[in-house]
Amino acid sequence: MAKITPADIDTLTEAGEAVAKGQLVAFGTETVYGLGGDATNPEAVAKIYAAKGRPSFNPLISHIDSTNNAFDLGEPTLMAQQLADDYWPGPMTLILNKTAHCPVHDLATAGLDSIALRVPSKTEARIFLQAAGRPVAAPSANRSGRISPTRAQHVMDELGACDDLAMILDMGATEEGLESTVIDARGEAPVILRPGSITATMIACSTGLRPIAPSKDIISPGQLASHYAPSKPVVLDAVSSKDGDIMIGFGAHGQDAVFNLSPKGDLTEAAANLYDLLRAADMEAGKRIAIAPIPEEGLGIAILDRLRRAAADRP
Ligand code: TXA
Ligand code: MG
C-alpha cells in the first residue's frame, strides 16, 4: 500500500532514487499529478501501463528537467525552439521526432518515431526529475479513462492499492488543474492535439504560425471519446438542476447549487476546480452530474474538451 509523503528535499531525492531503481512514484506538477517511472526502463514502463489499466498503444509523455535535455531526446524544429523559449518550463507538451540516440524505450513511445516531451514548472517536480537523472515517463496518476488527480489524496483513492507504487509525493493541490497543451511541432504548422492553458492565440504569438486542429486520422492516440469520466453520467449545458441531478454551476448559472466551478465566472478558477468538483459531485447521492454552460473561449476550450469526453458514451 502506497503512503502519502510530504515533498521536501530529502523525500524528493529519495523519490528520484526510487525511479532510478525501477520503482514508480506519483508526483505533483502545475497541471495534474503524474505516475512516474524510468522512461528508459521497459519493466518500469510496463508497471505504469498495468497500474493504470491503460492500453499500451497509448504513448506516454517523457518529463525532463530542462529544455536542453528535452532537445537531446527529440529533434527541435524552429517552431519547437520558439515555443520552448516562451512556455517551458510550463504546462506544454511538444511532440517531436525522436533523436537517433534517444534512450527512451519504445514501450513508452508505443513504438512511434515521435516522442512527447514536457518540462514542468513546479519547483518540486523539477527537483525530483533532477534527482531521477533520466527522463521520467508519467501519465496522469488515475485509472485509465477516469478523472485526473489534482491532489495527493486523489492519487491515493485511485492507485493506493497498487503494489508497484513506492511513494505518493504530496505537493499540495495543483495550481492549474487541467493537463498540459499537447502540440505536434514537427510539421509546417503547430497542431494542437490536446487543448490546455497554452492557448491557440499564445501558440500563434510565439511561432507566428496559425495552429491547426488535428485531422481525423492523426488524432492523438490518447484523445479517446470517453475520458476524464466520473462514475455517474454527465450532462452539459444545464441551466438549472433537474430532479436527482447534482448540479455543478459556473458564474450566474447554478448560484444556489452546492458546487460552483467559479461563482464569479472566472475560467482559470474553473479549470483549477474542475476535477476536484467532479470527484466531489460523484460522491453525492444523485443519478447524474449536470454542468452549467461554459463559454467556449480561452481556457474554456480546454475545459469543454475535457467535459465533452466526461459526458461521452462510455465504451
Ligand atoms: O499535464 C500533463 O500533461 C500530465 C502531467 C502528469 O504532466 N500528463 C498527462 O499524461 O496528461 P497523459 O498520459 O494522461 O496524456 C498524454 C497525452 C495522451 O493524449 C497521449 O496520447 C499523447 O499525450 N501523446 C503522447 N505521446 C504522443 C505522441 N508521440 N504523439 C501524439 N500524442 C502523444
Ligand atoms: Mg490522462
- Which residue's CA is the nearest one to ligand 1's atom 6? 34
DSSP 209-228: S--BPPPGGG--TT--SS-S
Q: Give 242's DSSP letter.
A: P
Nearest atom in ligand 1 to 118's CA: 7
Q: Directed axis angle between helix 267-283 and helix 299-311, to 10°?
A: 20
Return the sign of the alpha-carbon dihedral for residues 299, 305, 311, 315: negative
Residue 146 DSSP symbol: B
The torsion angles phi and psi of 48, rounded to 5 degrees, stand at -65, -50
Domain ranges of the chain: 4-207, 234-311
- What pLDDT was estimated at residue 248? 97
Tell me the sheet residues that pair with 165: 24
CA distance 214 to 298: 18
Domain 4-207 is in which class?
A: alpha beta
Q: Can you point out the beta strands (E) in the chain?
A: 4-6, 24-27, 34-38, 61-63, 74-75, 92-98, 114-118, 136-137, 165-170, 181-184, 191-194, 234-235, 245-249, 259-260, 288-291
Q: Is residue 197 a contact partner of residue 91, using CB atoms and an 8 Å limit?
A: yes
Q: Which three cell numbers stand for residue 306?
A: 475535457
- Pair 184, 193: CB distance under 8 Å: yes
85, three cell numbers = 523559449
Q: Which residues line ligand 1 (CB under 6 A)?
A: 29, 31-32, 34, 58-61, 93, 95, 109, 112, 114-116, 118, 138-140, 179-180, 182, 193-194, 220-223
Tell which atom from ligand 1 comes closest to the C-alpha of 112. Answer: 29
Neighbours of 150 (CB within 10 A): 26
Give residue 217's pLDDT: 59
- Tell me what pLDDT residue 43 has: 96
Atom of ligand 1 nearest to the CA of 31: 1
- Cβ(30)–Cβ(175) below 8 Å: yes
Query: What pLDDT was estimated at residue 72?
Result: 98
Q: What is the DSSP letter of 261?
A: S
Q: How far apart are CA 130 and CA 256, in angstroms?
A: 47
Ligand 1: residue whose CA is nearest its atom 21: 222
Which residues are 136's β-sheet partners? 38, 63
Joined together, the cell numbers standing for residue 243 give 430532479
The rounded distance, in Å, linking the Cα atoms of 288 and 296 is 23
**Tens place of pLDDT per residue across the chain (315 aa):** 789 999 999 999 999 999 999 999 999 999 999 999 999 999 999 999 999 988 777 899 999 999 999 999 999 999 999 999 999 999 999 999 999 999 999 999 999 999 999 999 999 999 999 999 999 999 999 998 899 999 999 999 999 999 999 999 999 999 999 999 999 999 999 999 999 999 999 999 999 999 998 776 555 655 667 777 899 999 999 988 778 899 999 999 987 888 999 999 999 999 999 999 999 999 999 999 999 999 999 999 999 999 999 998 877
